[in-house]
Amino acid sequence: MSLIVVGSMAFDAIETPFGKSDKIVGGAATYIAWSASNFTQPINQISVVGGDFPQEELDALKARGVNLEGVQIKKDEKSFFWSGKYHMDMNTRDTIETQLNVLGTFQPVVPESFQNADFLMLGNLLPAVQMSVIEQMKVRPKLIVLDTMNFWMETAMPDLEKVLKHVDVLMVNDSEARQLSAQFSLVKAAKEIMKMGPKYLIIKKGEHGALLFHGDQVFFAPALPLEEVFDPTGAGDTFAGGFIGHIARTKDISFENMKTAIIVGSAMASFCVEKFGTLRLTEISKQDIDDRIQEFVQLVNFDIALV
């Protein structure tokens, strides 16, 4: 029992310049599970859904090696719902609506069989819920990774500050890093954020790649230049799934291995954006992933003769 994933499982309604979806399955933990399960199984999932959440989606995740023992189903309530709209610059989006529904009162319970997990991926949801999962772990996992977003900085900052003290790696996007630290320079922002608790910080910059900070060290991973980006929703979570999936598979939490993990995360995210929702993640094979990682190697591989 090595990896626990916590996060929202949801319905999303998405509008991009290329199309519009009605309510489709989304949620941070859904994307993370689809992505991470390519590298390690089982995924021990902790989340909450309403009676409206499709049984077929739960069955598909189960078939993929996702253990749903920690997913509560509130039969008479509605699942978390989020809707967002992207503009031509797909790096920016507006949240149109966030309906917490079952997530608002969620009290997570860590099943006994999930205890002793080595890796804990706290995907996006209430910081108090993330904290509660950490508190329920009888043995601290070797690596705790946390993803969050501006919504929680605006509505639950004291809880977020509290949980940040207990995590090893924080993942945020560039605007969230600026908001959290009140610094415009991402280097200064990283320094401020690492004072809040996490020893490692990953700043995701959409089509401009991702930065990994640790002490005075910085590593940069590009995003694959794609001809078409159809829907960026879930790219950050898919990145997180690739990152933690690689770490859990290799059981190596060194900075060097985290560099590889963010390349794996970037490769996974590049699939996610190719179709609406989780669809593309359900189609890809191990060969597709290997080929895509090779494309990353080619993208950044060069010889240089110093004069």
Residue 276 beta carbon to ligand AMP: minimum distance, rounded to whole angstroms: 11
Among 3, 5, 6, 12, binds ligand AMP (CB under 6 A): 12
Asked if residue 98 binds ligand AMP (CB under 6 A), the reply is yes
Asked if residue 28 binds ligand AMP (CB under 6 A), the reply is yes
Residue 25 beta carbon to ligand AMP: minimum distance, rounded to whole angstroms: 8
Q: DSSP letters along the chain, please?
A: --EEEE---EEEEEEETTEE-SSEEE-HHHHHHHHHTTTSS-EEEEEEEETTS-HHHHHHHHHTTEEEEEEEEETTSPPEEEEEEE-SSTT-EEEEEEE-GGGGG------GGGTT-SEEEE-SS-HHHHHHHHHH-SS--SEEEEE--HHHHHH-HHHHHHHHTT-SEEEEEHHHHHHHHT-SSHHHHHHHHHHTS-SEEEEE-GGG-EEEEETTEEEEEPPPP-S-----TTHHHHHHHHHHHHHHHHT--SHHHHHHHHHHHHHHHHHHTTSSTTHHHHH--HHHHHHHHHHHHHHH-------
Interacting positions 177-236 with ligand AMP (CB under 6 A) = 233-236
Q: Across-strand partners of 145?
A: 121, 169
- Residue 42 or 234 with smaller CB distance to ligand AMP: 234
Q: Which of 201, 167, 166 is nearest to 181 (CA)?
A: 201
Among 33, 70, 114, 237, binds ligand AMP (CB under 6 A): 237
Q: Which of 83, 102, 109 is nearest to 94 (CA)?
A: 83
Asked if residue 37 binds ligand AMP (CB under 6 A), the reply is no
- Residue 8 or 132 with smaller CB distance to ligand AMP: 8
In this structure, what token pair is assigned to residue 147? 């993803």
Residue 151 beta carbon to ligand AMP: minimum distance, rounded to whole angstroms: 4
Counting residues that bind ligand AMP (by CB under 6 A) gives: 17
From 22-30, 43-51, 133-141, 192-200, give the range in contact with ligand AMP by CB under 6 A: 22-30
- Residue 26 or 108 with smaller CB distance to ligand AMP: 26
Asked if residue 273 binds ligand AMP (CB under 6 A), the reply is no
Among 3, 4, 5, 26, binds ligand AMP (CB under 6 A): 26
- Residue pair 289/38 in contact by the 8 Å Cβ criterion: yes
- Residue 131 or 235 with smaller CB distance to ligand AMP: 235
Residue 96 beta carbon to ligand AMP: minimum distance, rounded to whole angstroms: 11
Residue 251 beta carbon to ligand AMP: minimum distance, rounded to whole angstroms: 25
From 25-33, 34-42, 138-146, 256-264, give the range in contact with ligand AMP by CB under 6 A: 25-33
Q: Across-strand partners of 20?
A: 15
Site string for ligand AMP, 120-159 (x = CB under 6 A): ----xx-----------------------x-x--------
Site string for ligand AMP, 64-83 (x = CB under 6 A): ------------------x-
- Residue pair 79/101 in contact by the 8 Å Cβ criterion: yes
Asked if residue 10 binds ligand AMP (CB under 6 A), the reply is yes
What are the residues binding ligand AMP (CB under 6 A)?
8, 10, 12, 26-28, 82, 98, 124-125, 149, 151, 233-237
